[in-house]
């Protein structure tokens, strides 16, 4: 694989926070990778939480913009000061609210003062209030040199629905990347599971309503009702935990579903899984968690949402209709009952991750976008 011939110009990555999330984790890791390649990199964030701060490389400058209120003039001033201090940087704003600050800073400082890439990681809005803000954010996105999407499906939807890329910024797709050395097959030695079942299905993600973990619990109950000796591991935490616990109790699955909680190293849990399931019904664009599972050689069954079919399009998994627990159960039953098919999918998943979604490939693609934005 070709590496970038030279480092990017100074890069400023603008985030809402340093919370543990897909967009934030990916952005911090990319900032670290760019700094290791010799680039001058700054990570600026608007407000807490700051769980990812210890994971930022010492080579990366960190700026807390100290946002207060719905819109913070103080945070905007500090952002503009940081941009001036970095000379002529490439600013990468991640998600819509940080992009609002970047767009206003560009208006006040002058369009030629810095180059601006805006990354959009949402495919469909879950809340109506977010959709109602799109007339504002459509104008914000037109201030970018390039709007970066996480999947081709997402880009086409936003081009059609919001006319992004017409009369303003260009658009590009930057697929998530995975460290295929760290996430390898097997990830780590398979640990002793608390589940004493023949098969284990599982997932990784924050416990939010749109992740639909209860669908996976329901599918586990349906599989066991079919006589398949299967347990379920759910890695993550969040506001939906009480509802998930209630579903486990109602389905009579105590002892067959393990709630791991939040952890920084998901590899031991991926190593337990015979199949990884992504049950999201909204928001999802291109799941890092599913990509890490594929790199570990774990077959993936995912809802047909966002760019997930682009992820498994190179092999390694199957998709189903979001929210259709019966279809999910049928696919899982077929895979758990066919050792040869699971082994074939395992090899295909690992191959797809290495050949199409390796970490260096993603960083190289970003370097190209940062260097060529007008």
DSSP output for 334-368: HHHT-HHHHHHHHHHHHHHHHHHSBHHHHHHHHHH
Quick one: which of 291, 261, 302 has its CA closest to 353? 291
Q: If residue 8 lies in a helix (H) or strand (E), which one and from where to where? A: none
Cα–Cα dist 7/10, whole Å? 9
Question: In this structure, are residues 298 and 272 in contact, taking their beta carbons and an 8 Å threshold?
Answer: no
Question: In this structure, are residues 20 and 50 in contact, taking their beta carbons and an 8 Å threshold?
Answer: no
Question: In this structure, are residues 263 and 204 in contact, taking their beta carbons and an 8 Å threshold?
Answer: no
* 236: β partners: 261
Cα–Cα dist 86/84, whole Å? 5
Helices then strands, each counted (H, E), the chain: 14, 13
Task: Report the SS3 class of residue 373.
Answer: coil
Q: If residue 337 lies in a helix (H) or strand (E), which one and from where to where? A: none
Quick one: which of 169, 256, 264 has its CA closest to 221? 256
Q: What is the mean pLDDT of residues 38-46?
A: 97
Mean pLDDT of the chain: 92
280-294 tens-digit pLDDT: 998 889 999 999 999
192-227 tens-digit pLDDT: 567 889 999 999 999 999 999 999 999 999 999 999
Per DSSP, 89 falls in state: P
Q: Please check whether the two domains, 11-177+358-372 and 199-356, share a CATH topology.
A: yes
Q: Where are the domains of the chain?
A: 11-177+358-372, 199-356
pLDDT at 3 over 80: no
Q: Which tokens go with 196?
A: 């004493």
Q: What is the mean pLDDT of residues 281-308?
A: 94
Q: Give me the half-sphere count of Cα atoms (radius 13 Å) on the Cβ side of residue 53.
A: 13
320-363 tens-digit pLDDT: 999 999 999 999 999 999 999 999 999 999 999 999 999 999 99
What pLDDT band is residue 157 in, cutting at 50, 70 and 90?
A: very high
Is residue 70 reached through a cis peptide bond, with omega within 30 degrees of 0 on the bond before it? no
Task: Report the SS3 class of residue 137.
Answer: helix
| 257-261, strands of its sheet edge to edge | 257-261, 230-235, 199-204, 275-278, 300-303, 317-320
Cα–Cα dist 78/349, whole Å? 44
Full-model pTM: 0.89
Quick one: which of 184, 249, 228, 233 has its CA closest to 332? 228
* C-alpha distances out from residue 122 to 170, 278, 287, 339, Å: 18, 16, 11, 36
pLDDT at 94 over 50: yes
CA 51 to chain centre: 16
Predicted pLDDT at 191 = 56
Q: Which tokens go with 254?
A: 């105590």
Question: In this structure, are residues 94 and 27 in contact, taking their beta carbons and an 8 Å threshold?
Answer: yes
What pLDDT band is residue 2 in, cutting at 50, 70 and 90?
A: very low
Question: In this structure, are residues 8 and 371 in contact, taking their beta carbons and an 8 Å threshold?
Answer: yes
pLDDT at 264 over 90: no
199-356: CATH class: alpha beta
Q: If residue 249 lies in a helix (H) or strand (E), which one and from where to where? A: helix 241-250
Instruction: For tokens 């977010």, name the residue.
Output: 130
Cα–Cα dist 42/60, whole Å? 6
The alpha-carbon radius of gyration of the chain (Å, integer) is 21
* 203: β partners: 234
CATH superfamily of 11-177+358-372: Glycogen Phosphorylase B; (3.40.50.2000)
57-71, 153-167, 264-278, 310-324, range with the lowest pLDDT: 153-167
Instruction: For tokens 């105590």, name the residue.
Output: 254
Neighbours of 20 (CB within 10 A): 18
């Amino acid at each position: 694989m070709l590496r970038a011939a030279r480092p990017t110009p100074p890069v400023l990555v603008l985030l809402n926070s340093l919370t543990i999330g897909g967009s934030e984790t990916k952005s911090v890791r990319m900032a670290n990778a760019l700094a290791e390649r010799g680039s001058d990199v700054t990570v600026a964030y608007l407000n807490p939480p700051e769980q990812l701060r210890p994971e930022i490389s010492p080579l990366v400058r960190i700026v807390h913009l100290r946002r207060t209120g719905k819109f913070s003039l103080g945070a905007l001033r500090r952002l503009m000061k940081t941009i001036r201090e970095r000379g002529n940087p490439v600013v990468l704003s991640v998600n819509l609210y940080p992009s609002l600050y970047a767009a206003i800073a560009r208006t006040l400082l002058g369009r030629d003062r810095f180059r601006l890439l805006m990354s959009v990681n949402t495919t469909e809005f879950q809340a109506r209030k977010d959709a109602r803000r799109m007339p504002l954010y459509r104008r914000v996105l037109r201030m970018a040199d390039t709007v970066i999407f996480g999947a081709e499906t997402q880009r086409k939807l936003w081009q059609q629905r919001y006319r992004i890329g017409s009369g303003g910024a260009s658009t590009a797709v930057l697929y998530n990347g995975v460290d295929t050395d760290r996430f390898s097959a097997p990830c780590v030695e398979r640990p002793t599971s608390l589940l004493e079942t023949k098969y284990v299905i599982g997932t990784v993600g924050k416990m939010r309503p749109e992740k639909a973990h209860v669908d996976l619990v329901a599918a586990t109950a349906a599989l066991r009702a079919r006589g398949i000796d299967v347990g379920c591991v759910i890695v993550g935490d969040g506001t939906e935990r009480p509802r998930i616990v209630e579903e486990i109790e109602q389905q009579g699955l105590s002892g067959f579903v393990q709630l791991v909680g939040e952890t920084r190293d998901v590899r031991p849990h991926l190593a337990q899984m015979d199949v990884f399931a992504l049950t999201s019904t909204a928001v999802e664009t291109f799941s890092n968690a599913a990509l890490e599972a594929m790199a570990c050689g774990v077959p993936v069954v995912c809802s047909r949402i966002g760019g997930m079919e682009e992820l498994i399009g190179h092999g390694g998994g199957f998709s189903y209709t979001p929210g259709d627990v019966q279809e999910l159960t049928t696919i899982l039953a077929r895979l758990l009952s066919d050792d040869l098919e699971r082994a074939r999918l395992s090899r295909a998943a690992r191959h797809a991750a290495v050949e199409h979604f390796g970490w260096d490939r993603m960083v190289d693609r970003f370097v190209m976008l940062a260097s060529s934005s007008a």
